[in-house]
Structures are given as C-alpha cells and as structure tokens.
Amino acid sequence: MPDRHRKLINDPDKLISDLVEGMVSAHPGLLCVEGTTGRAIVARNGPRPGKVGIVVGGGSGHEPAFAGYVGKGLADAAPLGNIFASPSPTQIMDAGFAADRGAGVLFLYGNYTGDVMNFDMAAEALAEHGVTARSFVVTDDIASAPVNNSEERRGIAGDFFVFKVAGAAADQGLSLDEVEAATARANAATRTMGVALSACILPQTGRPNFDLPVGQMEIGMGIHGEPGIERVAAESADAVADRLLIPILNELSLATGDRVAVLVNGLGSTSLLELYLLHRRVATQLADRKVDIHHSWVGEYCTSLDMEGASISLMRLDEDLQDWLDHPCETPALKVGQSQVVAQTPRTPTPARARCDSETAINRDTLKTDGEMGPREFMGMMRSGAVAIFAARDQLCVLDGAIGDGDHGITMEIGWKAVLDALDATDPDLPISETCDRIAETFLSAVGASAGPLYASAFKTAGQAISDRWNLDAISLAWWFDGLAQGIATRGHTNLGEKTMLDAWRPAADAALKHAKKGSSVAACLSAASKAARDGSKATAQMRSAKGRSKKLGARVLGHIDPGAASAAILIAAWAKHCTTLHTFAKN
C-alpha cells in the first residue's frame, strides 16, 4: 500500500525466527540456539561449571541489544521476545537452563511491566527445577521518574554498562551475591537521557508508531517510542547534547578528578556524523568540569528499530567498575581487550527438562451439562473474538502509539493467531475449563509482553471458576467473566481506575453477574458485559495511568483511551455478537 513504508522483511509472522537464524548464521563461532522455543541465543564459549549464568533479554527491535551482547566474558544467553515485547516465560526458561552451571543465574533487563512479569514467572518455574534465578532491573532513564522514585525508572541504553559489569564479574568467578552487588553498583552509577527526532516504523504495519511532526523533537523518549517529558522545536547538536547531559551531570554530582565512561548511542537512523557531534559537546562539557573520560563508545548499541534520535549515558567509575568495563569480552556487538582464543567446537546442548502439565485436573463424569453454551459454542466465540482483534490491529497500534510503544495490536494479533492454531488442534468437545487452560498456555508462550502473563492468568483463573461445568449457563458465564477480571487484577497488581485493561474487564464481569442474577440469558449477559466494557474503555481517556509504561507520562495520557481496555472491549463485543447471532439462529 502507498502509505506503508517498505521494510526488508519476509513473512511478518516469522520475523523473529528469521532474525535468530540470521544472527546465528552471521556469528556461528560465537552463538548457537538452544531450547524448544527456538528463541534462546546462547554463547558457545559462555556457560561453564561454577560460573554464575548471565541472561540478558527483552523485546526485539533494539539490535544489537540484547542478543548482540551474548558471548565470552559478557552474557551467556538471551531470550528474544517479539518486537518491543518481553520474551515469554518459556523462552526465558530456555535461556536460563542453557546458562545454568550450578552457581545460579542472574536475569538482567529493563524495568518494564511485561519484562518484570515474564522474567519473574520464569524464575519461579526454574526454582521448581532446582535452578536459582534472580532478577535485576536496570533503571538508568532519568526522564522516566524523579530521583526520589528512581526504582520506577525505565532501563534504556544504560543497559550496555550494567550488562558489561555483570558479565565481567561473573566471568571473574564471583558468587551470585557478589555479581548481583556489582550489578547494583553499576546501575546506581549509570544515568541516561534520550531524544527522538522521528518515529520508528513497526515492521508488521509499515507505519510510524507515534506522531512527531518534522521540526520537533521529543526529550526523554523511551526506546519503545514512549513519549518523553516534553516536545520542543528541533535544536542544534550542541543544544541537544546540553539538554541531555546537564541532568545526568547534576544527578551523578561529578566533581574535579572524577572518571566516567561515555556512551553516545544512536536509536537506529542517526548517522555517526551526528553522534560524533554529540560526543564532541559531551567531551567539552566534561573537560570544562575537569572530569576524565576513561573510555567512550559511539554508535548503535541499543536502538529503537529505525528511530531518528540518540541517547547519552554516563557511568561514574570507581576502580572496580573500571576494571569490569575493561575486562575482556567477545560478542557480536562488543569486543573488549584480547579474549583468550578457544577452539570452536559444537556446544553440547543443555538437556531438555520436562515442564509440568498445568492443565486443570477434572473429573469429566461429574461435570454439569445444563446451560446454553457448550464447548463448541465457546470455541466459536473465541474464534470470533480473534477475528475482531485481527481487524482492529492497526487501530490498537495507533492507540498504543499515543501513550505506549505502539505494538499492542500486533501483540494481540500474535497471541490470538496462536490461540486459533491451538483451537484447530483441540478436541471441539473438550471441557471449557480445559480449553481455557490451553488458551492461557498458548497466549503466554506466544506473546510474552505484559499481555501474555495477564491473559494467561485471566483464562487460567476463569477456567478454574467453571471447572465443575461442561456447559455454561448465565450464572456460570458470569463467574467465568469474574475469573478473567480476577486473574488480570492479581497478576497485574492493579485496581479499577488505574487506566489498564481491568477498567474494561471488571465492569464487564460485574454487568454479567448483575444480569445473570436477574435470570437473563447467556446472550443478554454477554450484551450487558459488552456495553459495560465499552463504557469502561472510553472512561480510561479521563484517567491518569498508575501502571505500566504510560505511568511515566502524567497528564499527557489524558484524552487517550488505554489500548488494553480497548482491545478487551473489542473482544467482548465480538463474543456478544457471536452469541446473539447463534441465539437468533436457534430461535428461527
């Protein structure tokens, strides 16, 4: 289509698998793939007995982060998520198993809701297999929260320094506690600010994921396209460098004689010429303050697809941090020092470890069969919801681009495509609770991001709520809806009014239950739930965000509907329409 930007991709559904194949084929001496998901890139010369395993990860689209830092002396493995979306727990577990050599595993990733949920779930699952895994979130982005709430800050290009220190400390044989402490020191000493001059183009849609007029720039932009702290007229390189650098200098309280490491990072479409101009100003400002630069890196180290823009990161050094930065490593994206030559031999894959069957164990002989909706009708309803999500993909991406990273429609499409494939391979007369289990596992494995854990918990809890039934009547359907809302609230640690998908799901569940108690039909309960979800979704436009990436935006989110609530309303509307159509057809 003429309004789409051309991208050098093949099948969008195979984008990440093609990326993995391309990386490994380009660096066969450094990288291999392990695990059943095909998403865990592992260092051939990384994991070794007695060494703490280092796993870094996040969404794709930030290349060379994160898999580009897998190699000897740095990260042992990296699970690759979808574009701008966290890897799923199963993908993370594949990386964790590969990195584990008996001394524990440290997960490192940016401080984003989806990453936190998915990595935490993976750590819990690894513990069941006897693997100690801990998480560390990088919080270097000054623009995303004030200093008194620094634990809420995002992780952006400063990941580079924190990953390097963690990998070096592990390579030197430190214990898990000591590696974690070194990582914390690195994070505390690192600050970053970024600027965007244009939006990035999502490969699947071919369109910008947010609007940034020519001649303006966004200060404090996140690496997923999240809006920053202000939008101003474009300025000169020196003026931009000052805007980014001064807050960093103030927070690090640099004084005469201090030493720093400098990273001037391009976001995907900024020339080296421009990046060197930024570094020129940074070097001048530091020299004026008599602050020494120990080492500088200038180039693309953590990108945002093809966004025009840059970020500046500083790490205030002490003797240990400097030693860890100087420690040799060899990865596709970074080589420091002279790494020891190791004969390249095929890496022995980590033996696959069985994962527990999580489907609800039920006695089918005791299931209640009264009710208007049977397993086949339920599956039909799920399929109708999936089709509606596919049709609304671009609309949902636009909503998300205004206050998030612009990929919500793509994420939901990926999840529901995987669900349709799973339903096609499922017995159409499977009890509804077991179908819910399969949807939960499928969504979690396919999506990652924040939607993966949230929808997995939703369908898991909803299935448990009706595990005594074969067919659903109105009241059991209402309890099923209540399970969906409860699962989302519990996994997301969220409440009504916080501008999340719960603001559509909770009113829908309450409306369904209210009408069911009045003796309404299944179709009538679904219609009521749909209206409540639609109203709840619209109401989020007047809410400030209390969760997720958009929390950082304050009043800038006002006037924008939460994309998660919007997709919930679309799903429920499709379910209601499907059921009403069936009910009308049955009467005729």
Catalytic machinery residues: 224
What's the rounded Cα separation, in Å, for the pair 78 and 319? 28
Is the distance from CB of 459 to CB of 439 less than 8 angstroms? yes
What's the rounded Cα separation, in Å, for the pair 204 and 218? 24
Backbone angles phi, psi at 143, to 5 degrees: -70, -20
In this structure, what token pair is assigned to residue 146? 């004030």
Beta-carbon contacts of 319 under 8 Å, excluding residues fewer than 6 positions away, are: none
In this structure, what token pair is assigned to residue 556? 């800038």
**Beta carbons within 10 angstroms of residue 332's beta carbon:** 19
* Helix H or strand E segment including 481: helix 474-492
Q: With the C-alpha atoms ordered 440, 443, 445, 447, is the resulting torsion angle positive or negative?
A: negative
CA distances from 403 to 112, 150, 321, 545, 551 (A): 14, 21, 36, 10, 9
* Helix H or strand E segment including 161: helix 159-171
In the sheet that 190-196 helps form, which strands lie side by side, from edge to edge? 230-233, 216-219, 190-196, 309-316, 259-266, 292-299
174: three-class secondary structure by DSSP:
coil
Residue 106 is which amino acid?
L
Q: Please provide the DSSP assignment of 349-374 as one string.
A: PPPP------SPP--GGG-B--SSB-
Q: With the C-alpha atoms ordered 552, 555, 559, 565, is the resulting torsion angle positive or negative?
A: positive
Backbone angles phi, psi at 78, to 5 degrees: -145, 125
Q: Which of 450, 453, 445 is nearest to 114 (CA)?
A: 450
